[in-house]
Structure 1
Amino acid sequence: MGSDFMLRFNIRQIEAFRAVIETGNMTQAGEVLGVTQPAISRLIRDLEEEYGLQLFARHAGRIDPTKDAIAFHAEVERCYGELEQMVKFATELGAHRKKRLRLASTVGHSYFFLPEVIKTFHARWPDVVISLVSGPSPEVVEHVEKGRCDIGLALLPLNVHGVAIKTMPETNLVCVMPKDHALAKLNSVAPQDLKETPLLLISESSLMRKRLLKAFNEANVTPNVILDSTYTGPICSLVASGMGVSIMDILTADAYSNLEIEIRPFSPSIPCELKLVLPESQVLAPPAQAFVEILMERAR
């Protein structure tokens, strides 16, 4: 159903059909399109004959749409909606005064890291419309690979292809505890310090959790996990309430530093592996390049 099909379709016939459906008669449809009533009748008749349809039941002085006409009209409207979106997209591409920046990010970083970056970017590029989608790292990569987003923020390594990966300033995992916790007296926290300590951790499927458990195994310590969560936000709130201790990336921990928590380095060092995901063979537009620069500044 490619271009050959579209070329066979007479757009004027479709416009006449839409006008008749919307006005209820051929005379008014002709007025809408700036043609005569006989011209409308001919366009409708040609459309019916070409595709073997009966679109209208003709009675004395009036016409009524058939079931085929009602079904066909729904499809016509859907296609017109897509055409309007295409025209809008083309207009935005060509208009320098209105640009769009499409972002994808892991859920946690879209809450705790990106807001300040987006705020700074908007202050410098107020005419750019920003869209943000959140999801797991594999989905972030897919959004950029498929061209649905311009920039992605994901936790890697992953088996990625079709995208370019830009390394961000390295950050490590940290230990987060209630302000009055005994661990707050330490300069850094190791697995041996966490024996029997109730732990609230990111979900088992995450790369961060797997690296963390490896460190515990190497120290011959079995972590006392009492809660795991898909997102780190609730974990910080529960830590502040005194429920337990957590280990997470420092960007998220810093975002919650206003709570009743203390943050200490975790030993051994475990890198967060937060990366920028960019189109593989496409030069970034000026707004996207500016956003990357602001994001890198914020991560340092």
Structure 2
Amino acid sequence: MRRLNLRLLDVFRVVFETGNVTVAADKLGVTQPAVSKALIELEQDVGLVLFGRGRRRIIPTEDAARLYEETARLFTHVEVFEDRIDDFRSGSAGQLSVAAIPTLAGSVVVQAALALQNKAPLVKVRIVTVSRAEVISSTTHHQVDLGLLHAPVADRDLDVEIIGESEIVAAVHRGHVFQTYDHVTPRDLDGYLLIGTYVGSPASYLVRECFEAAGIKMQVALEVNSSAVAFAAAASGRCIALIDPWPSWVVSDDRCVLVKFRPVVPQRIALLTSTFRPPSRLAQLFAEELRHEIIKAAASSHFVRGMIKST
């Protein structure tokens, strides 16, 4: 038996319900011969006689009655499916995958996901926390819908949009003398034990360049790949962490204070999409929530700036 044609089944359903080919044709917006041809084709496909002919009406067989029950059930599912497609199109349902470096995953990405689900409870967001290289790879190979990390990103297969910017800060234990400073410099930090971010991150190179330019040797006691981990370690009071400011939005820890680090080390937040895979409506809505969360953070922080034009 050939794969059943939904159009033929729809014609059959309407004919069965109306009991008249002419009425069915009017309801379907087609000609009477087209309906008759569709019924003949369906009977050939299913190998059953579905209708007998009376004077003014066609008479369904027992096989037709059984087929109608299954057809009605099928089209109920089709209608549900169509409703779901409408939800996907509007962005009110579906699944979205986002790959992000740990600091951004635990802050703006989570906040944006919760904001989106408040508006669209049927949406499922999968957040994958990975390294910088894995964010780029998974977005390039379409394993996720969106990627989020710190610029720069040089990959011809990716579209890169800068949606905000933060800056490196010094996280110091509350009560530390630096708490009273407007800002700290490499010279101020000379001799202090420091917590630095992973060498592979763009910010780590820039921070080290600042110290080298000042002729100061960094005394890195702890190196981590997550600013959240560095922030927690700085709360002990033994070391000073040079990190981006996002962990303070996630963890309420009064033991730490953020102080400006100078010269400014920018952390441009890059949103990645595949050049060969246009973002879905759901991905676009999530990106809007990300921008909104950054704008909210910028309104309450000296260390975050809102949206920047795409690059």
Please give the TM-score of this superposition, normalised by the length of structure 1. Answer: 0.66
Matched, 1:95 2:85: yes
**Residue aligning to 2:166:** 171
- Cα distance, 1:100–1:232 mapped onto 2, change above 3 Å: same
Larger Rg belongs to: 2
Gaps of 5+ in 2: 1-80, 88-92, 296-311
**Residue aligning to 1:141:** 136
Q: Percent identity at matched positions?
A: 19
- The equivalences for 1:59-138 within 5 A come to 95-97=85-87, 98-138=93-133
Residue 285 of structure 1: CA displacement? 2.1
Residue 119 of structure 1: CA displacement? 0.7
User: Which letter maps to 2:182?
Assistant: N
Gaps of 5+ in 1: 1-90
1:279 to 263, 274, 277: 274
Secondary structure, counterpart of 1:193 in structure 2: coil
2:215 to 216, 220, 237: 220
Secondary structure, counterpart of 2:128 in structure 1: strand
Matched, 1:186 2:172: no
Asked if 2 retains the 8 angstrom alpha-carbon contact of 1:120 and 1:294, the reply is: yes
**Residue aligning to 1:294:** 289
Asked if 1 retains the 8 angstrom alpha-carbon contact of 2:164 and 2:268, the reply is: no
Runs of 4+ in 1 over 4 A off after TM superposition: 91-94
**Residue aligning to 1:236:** 231
**Residue aligning to 2:78:** none
**Residue aligning to 2:304:** none
Asked if 1 retains the 8 angstrom alpha-carbon contact of 2:100 and 2:147, the reply is: yes
- Cα distance, 1:275–1:138 mapped onto 2, change above 3 Å: same
Residue 93 of structure 1: CA displacement? 12
User: Which letter maps to 2:254?
Assistant: L
- Cα distance, 1:253–1:218 mapped onto 2, change above 3 Å: farther
Cα distance in 2 for partners of 1:194, 1:232 equals 19
Cα distance in 2 for partners of 1:168, 1:130 equals 20
Residue 109 of structure 1: CA displacement? 1.7
Secondary structure, counterpart of 2:164 in structure 1: coil
**Residue aligning to 2:198:** 203
Cα distance in 2 for partners of 1:264, 1:252 equals 14
- Cα distance, 1:137–1:265 mapped onto 2, change above 3 Å: same
**Residue aligning to 2:69:** none
Asked if 2 retains the 8 angstrom alpha-carbon contact of 1:92 and 1:99, the reply is: no
Cα distance in 1 for partners of 2:146, 2:247 equals 20
Deviations 1:23-55 (A, max 9, x none): xxxxxxxxxxxxxxxxxxxxxxxxxxxxxxxxx
Residue 190 of structure 1: CA displacement? 0.9
Asked if 1 retains the 8 angstrom alpha-carbon contact of 2:148 and 2:269, the reply is: yes
Residue 273 of structure 1: CA displacement? 2.3
Asked if 2 retains the 8 angstrom alpha-carbon contact of 1:237 and 1:259, the reply is: no
2:240 to 226, 245, 252: 245
Please give the TM-score of this superposition, normalised by the length of structure 2. Answer: 0.63
Residue 257 of structure 1: CA displacement? 4.7
